[in-house]
Amino acid sequence: MYKTITATFTDKFAIENVANELVSKDVPRENFFIDEEASQVKIMIPESAEAGIMDILNRHKPTEVH
């Protein structure tokens, strides 16, 4: 089953770094979306991959994850 995680950041560079790290971990580009206006990264992943994705997100200090 798939799950969508949305992370909000205050730093534009953090969003770019998250995107680069997701790609390097073989997350398909079509599985995540960057909303620059809202400073968010939205990721659709299998529930089994949630822990690894949360590690990536938390490394870049999001202000909110849901």
How far is Cα 26 from Cα 42, in angstroms, rounded to an integer? 16
Looking at residue 56, which CATH number applies to its domain? Answer: 3.30.1370
Q: pLDDT, tens digit, for every residue of 31-61?
A: 999 999 999 999 999 999 999 999 999 999 9
Q: How far apart are the first and last CA of the chain?
A: 17
* Domain span holding position 54: 2-65
DSSP 8-state code for residue 6: E
Overall domain count for the chain: 1
Count CA atoms within 13 Å of residue 41 on its CB side: 32
Return the pLDDT at 60.
97
- pTM attached to this predicted model: 0.92
Percent of the chain with pLDDT over 90: 100
